[in-house]
């Protein structure tokens, strides 16, 4: 028979003691019968639950029901009993104590967890390769913020306010900037060129730097476009830097990147911050410049022209130097060249990937191939 709390009629010390002993004995017996976690829980609840647990019942029946002159004695006894039972319940454990310990035991014979080692993302890998080529030429690496002001992204690069050349950049602007002066308004940089100005503000000439980073343009994603992509900018400023230096440097870099047999070719172009400006083409490293694949099939990456456009470049426009003149960049004394290339497209061609979006979807099955 399970223990139930008796109603007391006799409140003499002897009767109280007997009742208390009975309840302690019942608690001990039940405690010895705990066999599982579930048993342990119901045992604890049965004795300790605030609402209608045995201790609560004892309190209600024995204490509140005691006649006035026995209240003191009953109070003392009940408190002692509560302490003892609490002790019993708290020290209760699953019989034999084996189950609890077994679940805590560490099996040192189990093999460890093998964590796969990550690898560089193909775009980052391509970036490191390109940066490495210029580092070996003595260039250092600079970086700048992705959220940029109109001043650095446009104005100081000789894009006057409202100039149509700004429209070619499909700029993503940060909202709620209308109350600021135009040049302080924030946007996502559309190219890495603002870091040219930021670096020239900090470092006096001569400088040779490359600037890797992410840029954003309002282009819907498709097989060859992404609103976020990567560029590497280059800038060299010194006395007597000529277009010949630009050609020699970039020709060397393209051979280091795509193999010594590639040829380079410059076509006139326009950028507000370089004058003259050019686009650099290399012979297609897929078809070797013939425009044809095996079996006379048309070469797609170069659109059968045999040439692939890799970057924009030019001689730093004197108007750009005017913005950093006070830091040693007097356009009458120094000259320089700059270039900027899109890394994603190069990685795409290099690895023969046919959709740019694969690079940004984070699918391990795709990325694993480059590990």
Residue 199 tokens read as 């670096």
Selected from 271, 281, 323, 329, the binder of ligand PHE by CB under 6 A is 271
Q: Residue 164 CB, nearest distance to ligand PHE (Å)?
A: 15
Selected from 200, 209, 262, 313, the binder of ligand PHE by CB under 6 A is 313
Q: Residue 341 CB, nearest distance to ligand PHE (Å)?
A: 8
Using rule CB under 6 A, residue 191 touches ligand PHE:
yes
Q: Which of 42, 168 has the CB closer to ligand PHE? A: 168
**Stretch touching ligand PHE by CB under 6 A, among 54-62, 101-109, 121-129, 336-344:** 336-344
Helix, strand, coil content of the chain in percent (nearest 5): 45, 20, 35
Binding residues with ligand PHE: total (CB under 6 A): 11
Using rule CB under 6 A, residue 122 touches ligand PHE:
no
d(CA 207, CA 199) in angstroms, rounded, equals 9
Using rule CB under 6 A, residue 338 touches ligand PHE:
yes
Using rule CB under 6 A, residue 154 touches ligand PHE:
no
Q: Residue 181 CB, nearest distance to ligand PHE (Å)?
A: 24
d(CA 316, CA 200) in angstroms, rounded, equals 12
Q: How many helices (H) and strands (E) does the chain have?
A: 12, 9
**Stretch touching ligand PHE by CB under 6 A, among 50-58, 72-80, 82-90, 337-345:** 337-345
**Stretch touching ligand PHE by CB under 6 A, among 13-21, 171-179, 334-342, 343-351:** 334-342
Would you put residue 162 in left (φ > 0), alpha (ψ -120 to 50) or beta? Answer: left
Selected from 31, 126, 153, 193, the binder of ligand PHE by CB under 6 A is 193
Q: Which of 54, 215 has the CB closer to ligand PHE? A: 215
Q: Residue 260 CB, nearest distance to ligand PHE (Å)?
A: 25
Among 219, 214, 255, smallest CA distance to 233 is for 214
Among 35, 53, 55, smallest CA distance to 45 is for 53
Q: Residue 196 CB, nearest distance to ligand PHE (Å)?
A: 7
Ranges within 231-270 binding ligand PHE (CB under 6 A): 233
Question: Contact at 8 Å (CB) between 55 and 24?
Answer: no
Question: Contact at 8 Å (CB) between 313 and 339?
Answer: yes
Ranges within 273-312 binding ligand PHE (CB under 6 A): 274, 312
* Helices assigned H by DSSP within the chain: 13-32, 37-48, 54-58, 71-91, 98-104, 122-135, 150-153, 194-202, 243-258, 318-322, 343-351, 364-367
CA 113 to centroid of chain Cα atoms: 24
Give me the residues that bind ligand PHE (CB under 6 A), please: 191, 193, 233, 271, 274, 312-314, 338-340
């Amino acid at each position: 028979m399970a223990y139930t709390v008796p109603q007391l009629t006799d409140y003499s010390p002897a009767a109280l003691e007997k009742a208390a002993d009975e309840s302690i004995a019942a608690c001990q017996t039940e405690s010895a019968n705990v066999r599982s976690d579930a048993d342990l829980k119901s045992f604890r609840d049965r004795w300790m639950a605030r609402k209608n647990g045995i201790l609560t019942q004892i309190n209600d029946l024995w204490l509140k029901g005691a006649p006035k002159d026995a209240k003191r004695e009953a109070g003392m006894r009940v408190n002692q009993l509560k302490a003892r039972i609490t002790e019993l319940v708290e020290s209760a454990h699953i019989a034999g104590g084996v189950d609890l310990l077994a679940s805590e035991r560490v099996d040192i014979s189990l093999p460890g967890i093998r964590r796969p080692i990550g690898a560089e993302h193909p775009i980052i890998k391509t970036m490191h390769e390109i940066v490495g080529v210029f580092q070996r030429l003595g260039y250092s690496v600079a970086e700048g913020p992705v959220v940029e002001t109109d001043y650095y992204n446009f104005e100081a690069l000789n894009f006057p306010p409202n100039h149509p050349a700004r429209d070619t950049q499909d700029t993503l602007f940060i909202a709620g900037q209308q109350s600021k002066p135009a040049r302080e308004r924030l946007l996502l940089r559309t190219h890495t060129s603002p870091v040219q100005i930021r670096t020239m503000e900090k470092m006096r000439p001569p400088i040779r730097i490359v600037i890797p980073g992410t840029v954003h343009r309002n282009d819907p994603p498709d097989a060859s476009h992404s609103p976020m992509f990567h560029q590497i900018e280059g800038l060299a400023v010194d006395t007597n830097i000529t277009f010949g230096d630009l050609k020699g440097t970039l020709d060397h870099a393209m051979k280091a990147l795509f193999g010594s047999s590639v040829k380079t070719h410059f076509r006139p172009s326009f950028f507000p911050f370089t004058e003259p400006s050019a686009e650099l083409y290399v012979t297609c490293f897929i078809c070797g410049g013939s425009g044809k694949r095996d079996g006379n099939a048309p070469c797609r990456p170069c659109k059968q022209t045999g040439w692939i456009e890799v970057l924009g470049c030019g001689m730093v426009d004197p108007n750009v130097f005017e913005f950093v003149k006070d830091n040693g960049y007097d356009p009458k004394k120094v000259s320089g060249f700059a270039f900027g290339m899109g890394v994603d497209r190069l990685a795409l061609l290099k690895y023969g990937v046919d959709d740019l979006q694969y690079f940004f979807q984070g699918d391990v099955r795709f990325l694993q191939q480059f590990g």
